[in-house]
């Protein structure tokens, strides 16, 4: 699937300077090929680029007082397959250590609190792929989409009790239930085609049969329609922005749709500090 993604982020810096860390660039995922990319900062400011072990592409900026806007656009060829119909359970003792960490509780995904609940609800299912699909269906059916009902402090256990939230909350609960069944699961933030209303999107990847597969428990968007930005144990490890200093945030605009032929025919890659404004 050829996808065009982008976002516009606006801020008013109220201090003499503010420091921003942005994690909004498309990930260097082998299942999504970057065809074109541009970043425009207004005003133009120097940047520092960092790539993490998970492929997250982060850049840091120091911005002077006044208005600041960041505009990002990219075109990608996404070749991400859905999970197979049936997968036998992995032996947790044989999992790679880099994968095993995603079976453990984390700040927003207290999987140790869900062990009995998860086995009562989903333990009867032997097919691991179907087990994950059933978890996603259950989360979607039993949670009410409610913007404003939760915030950045809300954990999976809170969501279990509230039975409401947004895609981030649906994802944290699904991750916690998977981990409670010893299924490695990690948080994914990205762009999603067909999302309504359009915004950044949260979903999860699950390790099945030696490979990571993407699942969307809140909107059931197909894997080939999602562009991964960041991965982590939960949202604490995959923030889209981190800001130090007095800053007032403006409206956020996000786009993700099928790419036009002209965008594919003329690929162009720009680094953040090569862009003007």
Could you tell me the residue ranges of all domains in the chain? Answer: 2-78+239-274, 92-233
Predicted local distance difference test score (pLDDT) of residue 275: 37
What's the pLDDT at 263?
54
Cis peptide before 23 (omega within 30 of 0): no
User: 27-31, 64-68, 146-150: which range is least confident on average?
Assistant: 27-31
Query: Which residues make Cβ contacts (< 8 Å) with residue 222, sequence separation at least 6?
Result: 82
The per-residue pLDDT for range 25-59, each reduced to its tens digit, is 999 889 999 999 999 999 999 989 887 767 789 99
Under CATH, what is the fold of the domain 92-233?
C8orf32 fold (3.10.620)
Distance CA 1, CA 9 (A): 26
Quote the distance between the C-alpha of residue 102 and its chain's center.
15
Express each pLDDT in 221-276 by its tens digit: 999 999 999 999 999 999 999 999 999 999 999 999 999 755 555 545 555 543 33
Same topology for domains 2-78+239-274 and 92-233, yes or no?
no
pLDDT in tens, 107-124: 999 999 999 999 999 999
Sequence-distant (≥ 6) Cβ neighbours of residue 66 within 8 angstroms: 12, 13, 43
Predicted model pTM: 0.92
For 132, list phi and psi in degrees, rounded to 5: -65, -40
| Exposed e or buried b per residue across 134-161, where buried means at least 16 C-beta atoms within 10 angstroms of its C-beta | bbbebbbeebeeeeeebeeebbbbbbbe
**What's residue 260's pLDDT?**
73
pLDDT above 90 coverage of the chain, percent: 85
26 burial via Cβ count (<10 Å: 0-12, 13-18, 19+): buried
- The yes-or-no verdict on residue 213 having pLDDT over 80 is yes
Fold of 2-78+239-274: Immunoglobulin-like (2.60.40)
């Amino acid at each position: 699937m050829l996808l065009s993604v982008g976002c516009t982020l606006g801020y008013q810096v109220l201090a003499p300077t503010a420091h921003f860390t942005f994690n909004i660039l498309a990930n260097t995922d082998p299942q999504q090929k970057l065809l074109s990319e541009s970043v425009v900062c207004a005003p133009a400011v120097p940047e520092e680029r960092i790539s993490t072990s998970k492929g997250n592409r982060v850049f840091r900026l120091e911005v002077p007082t006044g208005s600041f806007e960041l505009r990002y656009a990219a075109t990608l060829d996404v070749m991400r397959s859905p999970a197979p119909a049936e997968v036998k359970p992995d032996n947790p003792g044989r999992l790679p250590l880099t994968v095993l960490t995603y079976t453990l509780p984390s700040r927003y995904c207290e999987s140790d609190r869900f062990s009995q609940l998860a086995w009562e609800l989903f333990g009867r299912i032997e097919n691991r792929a179907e087990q994950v699909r059933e978890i996603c269906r259950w989360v979607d059916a039993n949670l009410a989409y409610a913007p404003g009902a939760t915030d950045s402090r809300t954990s999976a256990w809170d969501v279990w009790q509230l039975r409401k939230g947004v895609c981030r909350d649906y994802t944290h609960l699904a991750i916690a239930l998977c981990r409670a069944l010893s299924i490695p699961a990690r948080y994914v933030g990205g762009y999603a085609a067909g999302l309504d209303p359009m915004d950044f999107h949260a979903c999860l990847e699950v390790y099945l049969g030696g490979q990571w597969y993407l699942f969307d428990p809140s909107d059931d968007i197909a894997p080939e329609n999602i562009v991964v930005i960041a991965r982590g144990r939960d949202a604490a490890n995959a923030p889209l922005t981190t800001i130090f200093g007095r800053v007032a945030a403006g409206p956020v605009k996000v786009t993700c749709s099928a790419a036009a032929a002209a965008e594919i025919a003329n690929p162009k890659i720009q680094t953040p500090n090569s862009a003007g404004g």
